[in-house]
Amino acid sequence: MGKKAGFVAIVGKPNAGKSTLMNAIMGQTLSIVTPKPQTTRNKIFGIYTKDDAQIIFVDTPGILKPQYKLQVFMKRELESSFLEADIIILICDASKYDLNDIGEVYEKYKKEFSSHKVFCLLNKIDLLNKEVVLHIIKDVSTNFKFDEIIPLSAAKGFNVDELVRTIINYLPEHEFYFDGDIIASQPEKFFVSELIRAEALKIYEQEVPFSVYVEVDEFKERSKGKDYIRASIILEKDSQKKIVIGRNGLMIKTLGERARAQIEEFLGRKVFLELYVKIRKNWKNDEDFLKRKYIRSSMSIT
């Protein structure tokens, strides 16, 4: 048998565990994970290669009803992943199991599901006892037609290897799409901006995190000394700027320290990070801004 390779779209409602799952499979952080919903804004590609199999995982924004133009873009990112996929994974939070939630997604994407192999993953089963998990599996299998129903815990790593083995069984025979040592298709600048945004999501409360866009303005790799990174924290309101900077610059200093530590861990080298704060009024509904910053940088690799 020759090589096997294919694309796997990971979809689900916000906070179901999509990014946690991909990070668990990849063995490192490619998608940022926070307790806040709508953390993932772009499709993020994680490339898993082992022996004669290559899986290109596509982590997607959570399934939602758009309230502003940024969320319209996020919905497009999600739905475009179906076009690339050989397998669709619908991940559900089993600890908040609701048959109607699965039914809503199943009905919404019935056409796409019918033309793909589709797995239902019941995540966070470490929070439930065995009898409850078995009941959920029976309920799902009775009411819906999935090719596989797999209970797991992405956070604990339980059944993740079994999921990978099952995916490989369904992959088509195909030459690898990427060299075996590549784990992501996005450039380092993308991950740097995401790591900064992840720390902003953790540090700031209420409205501020969802109004943050991070742009890496300069990224210089140096043969001697630390790499230099200059990034802008783009916000919607002047009042948010004060919160982000904090009294005597304390909050942005904290953000910079935490983000720098995460960036250095990710890159495996020391960096000098400078952060600046800018205002772009109502950028989440600014179509020109979104086209430049999101839509043009949105990646399709098929």
- From start to end of 25-172, where are the E strands? 44-50, 53-59, 87-93, 117-123, 148-151
Q: Are 219 and 191 in contact (CB under 8 A)?
A: no
Which residues have CB under 8 Å from 223's CB, separation 6+?
Answer: none
- From start to end of 23-133, where are the E strands? 44-50, 53-59, 87-93, 117-123
Reference 171, options 260, 2, 270, 53; nearest CA is 53
Q: Are 38 and 88 in contact (CB under 8 A)?
A: no
pLDDT digits (tens, 9 = 90+) for 139-175: 999 999 999 999 999 999 999 999 999 999 999 999 9
Per-residue buried b or exposed e for 72-108, using 16+ beta carbons within 10 Å of the residue's own CB: ebbbbbbebbbebbbbbbbbbbbeebeeebbeebbee
- In CATH terms, 188-295 corresponds, of 3.40.800.10, 3.20.20.70, 3.30.300.20, 3.10.450.40, to 3.30.300.20
Residue type, 197: R
Q: Token pair of 252, please?
A: 């942005």
First to last CA, the chain: 23
**Cα(178)–Cα(7) distance, integer angstroms:** 12
Residue type, 287: E
**Cα(203)–Cα(177) distance, integer angstroms:** 38
Reference 99, options 59, 141, 70; nearest CA is 141
Three-class SS state of 267 = helix
Residue 108: pLDDT above 70?
yes
pLDDT digits (tens, 9 = 90+) for 216-251: 999 998 888 899 999 999 998 888 898 899 999 999
Q: Token pair of 84, please?
A: 């690339």
All CATH 3.40.50.300 domain ranges of the chain, comma separated, are 4-170
Q: Are 151 and 131 in contact (CB under 8 A)?
A: no
Residue type, 262: Q
Residue 32: pLDDT above 60?
no
Work out the percent of the chain whose per-residue pLDDT is above 90: 46
pLDDT digits (tens, 9 = 90+) for 173-218: 999 988 888 887 677 888 888 889 888 888 887 667 677 888 999 9
**pTM (predicted TM-score):** 0.70
All CATH 3.30.300.20 domain ranges of the chain, comma separated, are 188-295
Query: How confident is residue 301, by pLDDT bands cut at 50, 70 and 90?
Result: very low
**Cα(43)–Cα(38) distance, integer angstroms:** 12
Residue type, 259: A
**Cα(140)–Cα(255) distance, integer angstroms:** 43
**Cα(213)–Cα(204) distance, integer angstroms:** 13
Per-residue pLDDT, averaged over 42-59, amounts to 85
Q: Are 47 and 183 in contact (CB under 8 A)?
A: yes
- Kindly report the CATH number that applies to the domain delimited by 4-170: 3.40.50.300
* pLDDT for position 2: 84
